[in-house]
């Protein structure tokens, strides 16, 4: 199967992206002359521009659109207003996670769901299986290119190109008709880096133009950022990644997303299982840890306590900001107290680590 | 790509510099470029006897871990401890910053390695 290319593929060639395969897409892991660490630092200190067109968009329309979205997700849809964005896991009946997604509410009859690239087909099949009468779920991904502009300088850069006052666009809100350099875009104050910033949805034919306008305006304060730094930035900010912190065998409660699970709402798929899990008490929990010994923890490495397996690493990395190796692990709850010594199995060797708290990056997003 | 003439190269992108009985081992410019930002180097233990193609360490970039295979057999007599504190030296100057030194038990094994010219040609086949 040949790899899919995003509408911004010509930009990856122009800016010398090192192209790799990612979930069926040909995307840059990093750019020549920069690299993951420099790109990461640019986003923390200035701004970075990401091609995230591989993300999936599913449009939900119809009289009962609100009820249908509520049936799908753990978070409370009814607290939303038009123009608001909501993050939520979407569960199976057993509480395992189908996907995590962003819900954009246009109005009570129209929602746009933004899902992970790898899960578009699975999510759409799941939605159609559970569809309510009079509601339509369609994959509109090909109608959108998506750019993420992230970092402390993101607002200044974007403001130069639009008359819309960006101060009025609050964290987790969107405006479906922002003119950027004259082109109508959907802009939300959202992101996956722990920094302030925007996600920009635009018709594919205009994507290159918008990218180049942003690059020209950003000048030395902006650089293209590849998938490598996208992962290191989201990891440092402790933002979950489907397939690592979340999957069909992990519930949102176990992985520390209880805040996004509203058990006092109308029924949603998985609610009964999550209520039961909460009442019975969790048996495992997602924890932060720092390495005490030498080595880098990686996803799926085993975690032990005194030689006995107690769970696994979900994500781990040498943090570009803190310049040390840290990780997230899903482990048995009796070992989850901060200060507990655990062992990470790195290439058959047990390396000491310590459960901690507050060791990740404090998000700089503009609070609600 | 920079490829010094006085070294021997393996298909796994390691280089060997021979000085008497000593074989200095490192990774090529191609290798460091492919790996990206190197953030951790696991060095071999001293006095370890290494057969051809056995692991003599691990190099980790932000994204991934890569095993370093010895391009020659021998006994580890020195390791470059500077790399433990500053693994990025392998990105900055891969030919100056060797990783380990082996006592070469059988230098005739160098015959399996490539010259700089042959290695450059080999890398070109990988890039095309």
Domain ranges of chain B: 8-106+116-127
Rounded to an integer, what distance in angstroms lies between the CA atom of residue A361 and that of residue A252? 21
Asked if B58 and A317 come within 8 Å (Cβ–Cβ), the reply is no
pLDDT at B106 over 80: no
ipTM of this model? Answer: 0.85
pLDDT tens-digit map of A89-126: 999 999 999 999 999 999 999 999 999 999 999 999 99
Q: How far apart are CA A21 and CA A155, in angstroms?
A: 31
Domain limits, chain A: 9-53+144-236, 56-140
How buried is residue A23: exposed, middle or buried, by Cβ count under 10 Å (0-12/13-18/19+)?
middle
> Which residue, among A19, A21, A36, A43, would best test binding to B if mutated, counting the most B CBs under 10 Å from its CB?
A36
Check CB contact of B20 with chain A, cutoff 8 Å. no
pLDDT reading at A41 higher than 90: yes
Cβ contact A212:A8 at 8 Å: no
B-chain residues within 8 Å CB-CB of A232?
62
A232 vs B: CB within 8 A: yes
Kindly state the percentage of chain A with pLDDT values over 70. Answer: 99
Q: What is the mean pLDDT of residues B79-90?
A: 96
Dihedrals phi, psi of A189, to nearest 5 degrees: -90, 80
The predicted model scores a pTM of 0.94
Question: CB-CB: which of A18, A36, A347 is closest to B62?
Answer: A36
- pLDDT exceeds 80 at position B16: yes
B8-106+116-127 CATH: 2.40.50.100
- What's the whole-number mean pLDDT along residues A274-294? 97
| Phi, psi dihedrals of residue A168, rounded to the nearest 5° | -80, -10
B40/A232 touch (CB, cutoff 8 Å), yes or no: no
Between A and B, how many CB-CB pairs are < 8 A?
A: 37
pLDDT tens digits, one per residue of A157-181: 999 999 999 999 999 999 999 999 9
Contacts of A119 (CB under 8 A, 6+ apart): A56, A98, A99, A242
Q: Do B63 and A296 touch (CB under 8 A)?
A: no
Using a CB–CB cutoff of 8 Å, tell me whether B52 touches chain A.
Answer: no
pLDDT in tens, A42-76: 999 999 999 999 999 999 999 999 999 999 999 99
CATH class of the region A56-140: alpha beta
d(CA A110, CA A107): 5
A9-53+144-236: CATH topology is Gyrase A; domain 2 (3.30.1360)
Which chain A positions have a beta carbon within 8 Å of B127's beta carbon?
none
B63 shares contact with chain A (CB less than 8 Å): yes
> Is the minimum CB–CB distance between B60 and chain A shorter than 8 Å?
yes
Band (pLDDT 50/70/90 cuts) for residue A367 is: low
Show the 3-state SS of A308-323.
EEEEEEEEEEECCCCC
pLDDT tens per residue across span A142-152: 999 999 999 99
Residues in chain A with CB shorter than 8 Å from the CB of B42 are 294-295
pLDDT value of residue B107: 57
B40: which chain A residues are within 8 Å (Cβ-Cβ)? Answer: 294-296, 318, 325
Q: Tell me which chain A residues have a C-beta less than 8 angstroms from the C-beta of B60.
A: 296, 318
């Amino acid at each position: 199967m040949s790899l899919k290319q995003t509408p911004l593929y010509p930009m990856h060639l122009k800016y010398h992206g090192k192209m790799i395969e990612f979930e069926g897409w040909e995307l840059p892991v990093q750019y020549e002359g920069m690299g993951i660490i420099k790109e990461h630092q640019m986003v923390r200190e200035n701004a970075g521009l990401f091609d995230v067109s591989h993300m999936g968009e599913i449009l939900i329309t119809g009289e009962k659109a609100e009820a249908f979205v509520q049936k799908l997700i753990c978070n409370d849809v009814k607290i939303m207003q038009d123009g608001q964005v909501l993050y939520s896991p979407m569960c199976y009946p057993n509480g395992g996670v189908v996907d995590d997604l962003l819900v954009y509410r246009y109005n009570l009859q129209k929602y746009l769901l933004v899902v992970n690239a790898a899960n578009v087909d699975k999510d759409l099949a799941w939605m159609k299986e559970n569809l309510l009468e009079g509601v339509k779920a369609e994959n509109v991904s090909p109608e959108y290119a998506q750019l993420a502009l992230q970092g402390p300088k993101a607002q200044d850069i974007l403001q130069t190109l639009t008359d819309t006052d960006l101060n009025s666009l609050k964290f987790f809100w969107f405006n479906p008709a922002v003119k950027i350099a004259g082109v109508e875009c959907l802009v939300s104050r959202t992101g996956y880096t722990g920094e302030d910033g925007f996600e920009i949805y635009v018709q594919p034919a205009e994507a290159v133009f918008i990218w180049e306008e942003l690059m020209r305006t950003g000048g030395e304060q902006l650089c293209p950022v590849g998938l490598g730094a996208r992962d290191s930035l989201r990891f440092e900010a402790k933002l979950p990644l489907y397939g690592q912190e979340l999957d069909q065998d992990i519930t949102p409660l176990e992985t520390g997303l209880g805040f996004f699970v509203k058990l006092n709402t109308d029924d949603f798929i998985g609610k009964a299982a999550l209520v039961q899990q909460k009442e019975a008490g969790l048996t495992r929990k997602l924890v932060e840890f720092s390495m005490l010994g030498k080595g880098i923890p990686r996803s799926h490495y085993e975690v032990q306590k005194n030689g006995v397996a107690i769970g696994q690493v979900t994500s781990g990395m040498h943090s570009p900001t803190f310049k040390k190796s840290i990780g997230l692990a899903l482990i048995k709850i009796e070992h989850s107290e901060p200060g507990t010594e655990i062992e990470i199995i790195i290439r058959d060797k047990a390396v000491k680590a310590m459960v901690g708290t507050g060791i990740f990056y404090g998000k700089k997003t503009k609070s609600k | 790509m920079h490829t010094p003439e006085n070294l021997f190269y393996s298909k796994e992108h390691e280089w060997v510099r021979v000085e008497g009985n000593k074989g200095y081992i490192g990774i090529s410019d191609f290798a460091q470029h492919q790996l990206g930002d190197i953030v951790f180097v696991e060095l071999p233990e001293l006095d370890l006897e290494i057969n051809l193609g056995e692991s003599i360490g691990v190099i980790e970039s932000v994204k991934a871990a890569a095993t370093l295979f010895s391009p020659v057999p021998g006994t580890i007599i020195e390791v470059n401890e500077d790399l433990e504190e500053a693994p990025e030296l392998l990105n900055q100057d891969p030919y100056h910053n060797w990783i380990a030194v082996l006592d070469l038990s059988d230098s005739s094994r160098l015959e399996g390695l490539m010259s700089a010219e042959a290695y450059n040609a080999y890398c070109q086949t990988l890039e095309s």
